[in-house]
Amino acid sequence: MDPFINDLIVYWPQLLAGLERTLILMVIVSLTGLAGGVCVFYLTLVKSSILHKWTEAYISFFIGTPLLVHLFLMYYGLPQLGIRLSALTVAVIGFTLNVSAYNARYLATAYNGLDKEELEAARAQGFKHSETFRLIILPQVMRLSVPSLTNQVIQNLKDTSVAFLIQYHDLFAQIQEIASSNFHFFKAYMTAALVYLALVSIVVLAARRFERFISLPGFETH
């Protein structure tokens, strides 16, 4: 038997545990990032110039700086200030801050394509700002943003692979351990690539079915 295959069999329980951690992190940050993105997007619509500037600064900062820097800053930098967080906690916070900024930008882009007369009609009928956002704006921008939000979920899945650099024992960390033990780096990393490709394919298929489910008559997604 190929020594590398033999090592995969030996490390199979660790690989499954790593895969589970990868999926857990992806699901958590996709949900928290979506919730955070909605909140940040809402703040961009508030009629306050100061709040609007701070919100735009938040979005620009997290879109314009690497995720890895945020993770390192919290995991390796905060302990110097006496603050120690687990690898999972750092990953969730770092990813959520980053993903929220991207999702808020996707929602804002979709908002620019809405019919503003419809929004004015809602205000004319006495809808409060929060009611207009919840009942009219959010449902439409969420539907229009499904492709972008799906791409972000895929990006979240792929980005989990950097979490091993802060000692989070995900799938890639386990693959790295196998590669370090037998020096079959090409086979190990190719295996990791194929696993991530399979996971991404599942997400894409699920997203396409969801798009068809929420599509409006006459606007079906092909």
Structure tokens belonging to residue 38: 């909605």
Which pLDDT does position 20 carry in this prediction? 95
**Contact status, residue 102 vs residue 37, Cβ threshold 8 Å:** yes
Does residue 41 lie in a domain region? yes
Does residue 104 lie in a domain region? yes
Q: Does pLDDT of 21 surpass 50?
A: yes
pTM to 2 decimals? Answer: 0.87
Measured from the Cβ of residue 153, the count of other Cβ atoms closer than 10 Å reads 22
Return the CATH number at 61: 1.10.3720.10
Does residue 222 lie in a domain region? no
Residue 23: which pLDDT band, with cuts at 50, 70 and 90?
very high
Does residue 79 lie in a domain region? yes
Which pLDDT does position 121 carry in this prediction? 81
Does residue 220 lie in a domain region? no
Residue 222: which pLDDT band, with cuts at 50, 70 and 90?
very low
Q: How many domains does the chain have?
A: 1
Domain containing 208: what range? 3-214
Does residue 181 lie in a domain region? yes
If you average pLDDT over every residue of the chain, what do you get?
Answer: 89
Q: Does pLDDT of 218 surpass 80?
A: no
Residue 219: which pLDDT band, with cuts at 50, 70 and 90?
very low
pLDDT (mean) for 139-156? 91
pLDDT tens string 152-183 = 999 999 999 999 999 999 999 999 988 888 88
Does residue 110 lie in a domain region? yes
Q: Provide the percentage of residues in the chain whose pLDDT is more than 90.
A: 60
- List the single range of 42-46, 47-51, 95-99, 128-132 with lowest mean pLDDT: 128-132
Which pLDDT does position 217 carry in this prediction? 53
Distance CA 90, CA 68 (A): 11
> Minimal CA–CA distance to 10: which of 164, 178, 176, 183?
178
Does residue 221 lie in a domain region? no
